[in-house]
Amino acid sequence: VFFLRERLKGFAKGSSFVPKHVHVIGAGVMGGDIAAWCALMGLNVTVQDQNLNAIAATLQRAAQLFKKRLKLPFLVQAASDRLVPDTDGLGVIKADVIIEAIIENVEAKQKIFAMLEEKAKPDAVLATNTSTIPLEVISKNLNNPGRVVGIHFFNPVALMQLVEVVADPHTDPKVVAQATTFVGKIDKLPLPVKSSPGFLVNRVLMPYLLESAEIYFEGVPGPVIDKAATDFGMLMGPIELMDTVGLDICVAAAQSMGAPISEQVVAMVHAGKLGKKSGAGFYTYPHGKVVKPKVDPSKKYPEDISDRIIMRLVNESAACLREGIVTD
Ligand code: NAI
């Protein structure tokens, strides 16, 4: 793991790019936390949203992050000063890196990038945090589609170290190298990937989750499946993970990747059982905390659960390698 981390850090050394100012468009769950993280890491940040409440919530979450990480009041103050609300998007013309993290809507994103191509500095990195829309669709109407790169963070931003740097065949290699260096500069681990549904992480995660759902509907209790995964070394079991991510998001992600998802999961979504956020999914969440059913210890369950779920993940990884999503 140490060598793999060093390898990822090495990707960031591909350019001499020195980003100083980041502009984030969309201050939601992701954009807000990306902006806060960049300010924590010493960059000047402007954060834009059409919704003032989203910006206010971002500043609140950022203040908590700065306090927790920096502790000393003058450092907290300095980080807060680096994070500037920017409802009019004035930061666009000055930023070295612009990260779009608005809602997952093609037309809205295309509009933002048309504006960015016109207004941003000619050498600014123009990035999208999209999880599902292909880069070539977002950049389709631009004069220079090669300028757009994916910088795909994971939720929660402050805890997840891996960031996928997404390129399609049009993407300018210089832009990819700059984006990768930027990711290293904010102390994350960049992984270059090819633009393809699910990129690497969500692509290999999906069959693992779907297999877990199959096992669940075969009659194995959730806690037994989760334990097989945590015994293997996962931080959280797949059943609880699906509830945490949201079953609606899981279904949408599976469908966008063309992965076959169990009808029973789709039915749960239709019934409003979305997981933690709706109070019930595979488990229940009476006070926001998971309640798992008790498992009868005298009952025998199949012993191949971790094999079934982990092998799906390994198998998909091999497919990603074959398809050149990652180089090795
Ligand atoms: P969200 O719904 O929490 O936030 C979107 C924000 O964009 C909202 O505050 C909204 O007011 C703002 N917005 C919408 N149109 C805008 C415009 N034209 N100009 C300025 N602001 C605008 O969404 P979330 O979950 O943060 O997702 C954002 C992006 O990040 C999506 O592309 C999603 O695919 C991607 N993503 C989401 C992850 C997640 O776990 N939620 C993980 C990785 C990527």
DSSP 282-308: SSB-TTSS-BPPP--TTS---S-HHHH
- Where is average pLDDT lowest: 102-116, 211-225, 248-262? 248-262
Q: What's the pLDDT at 113? A: 98
Q: Could you tell me if the CB of 34 is within 6 A of ligand 1?
A: no
- Burial class (CB within 10 angstroms; exposed 0-12, middle 13-18, buried 19+) of 47: buried
Average pLDDT (287-311) is: 96
> What Å distances lie between residue 253 and 17, 208, 247, 256, CA to CA?
33, 13, 10, 5
Please state, rounded to an integer, the average pLDDT across all residues of the chain: 96
For ligand 1, atom 11, name the residue with the nearest CA. Answer: 51
Q: What's the pLDDT at 12? A: 96
Q: What's the pLDDT at 314? A: 97
Q: What's the pLDDT at 316? A: 97
Q: How many C-beta atoms lie closer than 10 Å to residue 154's C-beta?
A: 16
Q: Which amino acid is at 89?
A: G
Contact 147, 175 (CB under 8 A): yes
Q: Does an H or E element contain 192, and which?
A: strand 189-194
Out of 152, 170, 270, 287, the active site residue is 152
Q: Which amino acid is at 136?
A: E
Between the CA of 211 and the centroid of ligand 1 the distance, in Å, is: 29
For ligand 1, atom 25, name the residue with the nearest CA. Answer: 29
Q: What is the pLDDT of residues 252-279, one digit of tens each?
A: 999 989 998 999 999 999 999 999 999 9
Which residue, among 187, 287, 294, 276, has the nearest Cα to 236 in the 3D structure? 276
Contact 107, 94 (CB under 8 A): no
Contact 309, 238 (CB under 8 A): yes
Q: Does an H or E element contain 238, and which?
A: helix 238-245
Q: What is the pLDDT of residues 52-91, one digit of tens each?
A: 999 999 999 999 999 999 999 999 999 999 999 999 999 9
Is residue 66 classed as helix, strand or coil in its secondary structure?
Answer: helix
pLDDT tier, 318 (very low <50, low <70, confident <90, very high otherwise)? very high
Between the CA of 232 and the centroid of ligand 1 the distance, in Å, is: 33
Between the CA of 295 and the centroid of ligand 1 the distance, in Å, is: 39
Q: What's the pLDDT at 96? A: 98
Q: What's the pLDDT at 181? A: 98
Ligand 1 pocket test, pick from 55, 61, 102, 132 with the greatest ligand atom count within 8 Å of Cβ, gives: 102
- DSSP assignment letter at 84: E
Q: Could you tell me if the CB of 225 is within 6 A of ligand 1?
A: no
Q: What is the dihedral of CA 106, 112, 116, 118, to 10 degrees?
A: 100
Report residue 42 as tokens.
Answer: 């010493």
The reply to whether 287 belongs to the active site is no
Report residue 233 as tokens.
Answer: 């070394």
Q: What's the pLDDT at 129? A: 98
Q: Could you tell me if the CB of 178 is within 6 A of ligand 1?
A: no
* Whole-angstrom Cα Rg for the chain: 21
> Residue 83 pairs with which residues in a beta bridge?
45
Q: How far is CA 194 from the centre of its chain?
A: 15
Q: Does an H or E element contain 86, and which?
A: none
Between the CA of 26 and the centroid of ligand 1 the distance, in Å, is: 6
